[in-house]
Every structure is written in C-alpha cells, then in structure tokens.
C-alpha cells in the first residue's frame, strides 16, 4: 500500500472512530503520538496533499510528510482550539508498511 493510500485509510479511521485501525497504523502509538481515540477527535478532513520526502537529517528519520486540513475538537491542554486547522502526518516505512511516526500543525 502506498503512503497516500495509508494516509487515506488512517484519516477515514480517525474520523469514524476506528481506534483499532489508527493504533495499528501508528508507529509505537503508546509512546510517541496519539491515535485520535479520545479528545481531541478528528471530525473531518480535506485537501490531502501528495507526500513529500523529508530526509533523516531534517526529521530524525527519513519520512514522507502528508499534509491536509482537518476539523477537530479542542485539545485537552488547549494547545489547539476546536475548528479547522492545517495538519500533517510524518509516515515512516516499517516492515509492516507505512506508519504514522509523528504529527502536528502545519
């Protein structure tokens, strides 16, 4: 499966509350990044961009960056308010396929 296909599966799972799928597609989800299973919740997404390669010298690991726009509930720590925001996923290639390694605004 391509990184774009994986991103679309992940986004669909995040917006439909399929926590088993978001966790399965998140690299070490329990230690590194959340999987949209609790607040905040991803309500919708649009404008998914083509992946962009980012070398390890810039990201700590070679990743494919997928950016999009999302609508979300507020983060519990109020670091991001509810509403529409740009967001991105860093995907890393694992033996099991592409996995979200990190995510964030912009």
pTM of the model: 0.90
User: For residue 83, what pLDDT is reported?
Assistant: 93
The single residue listed with the structure tokens 């690991």 is: 61
Return all residues near 51 (Cβ < 8 A) that are at least 6 apart.
3, 4, 7, 64, 65, 66, 91
Architecture of domain 3-105: Roll (3.10)
Span 20-79, pLDDT tens digits: 999 999 987 556 667 888 888 999 999 999 999 999 999 888 999 999 999 999 888 888
Each domain of the chain, given as residue ranges in start order, spans 3-105
């Amino acid at each position: 499966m391509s990184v774009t296909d994986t991103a679309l599966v992940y986004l669909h799972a995040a917006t439909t509350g399929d926590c088993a799928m978001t966790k399965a597609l998140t690299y070490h989800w329990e230690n590194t990044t959340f999987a949209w299973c609790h607040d905040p919740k991803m309500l919708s997404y649009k404008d998914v961009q083509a992946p962009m390669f980012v070398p390890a010298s810039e990201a700590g690991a070679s990743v494919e960056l997928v950016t999009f726009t999302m609508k979300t509930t507020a983060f519990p720590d109020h670091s991001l308010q509810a509403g529409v925001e740009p967001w991105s996923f860093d995907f890393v290639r694992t033996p099991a396929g592409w996995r979200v390694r990190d995510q964030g605004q912009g």
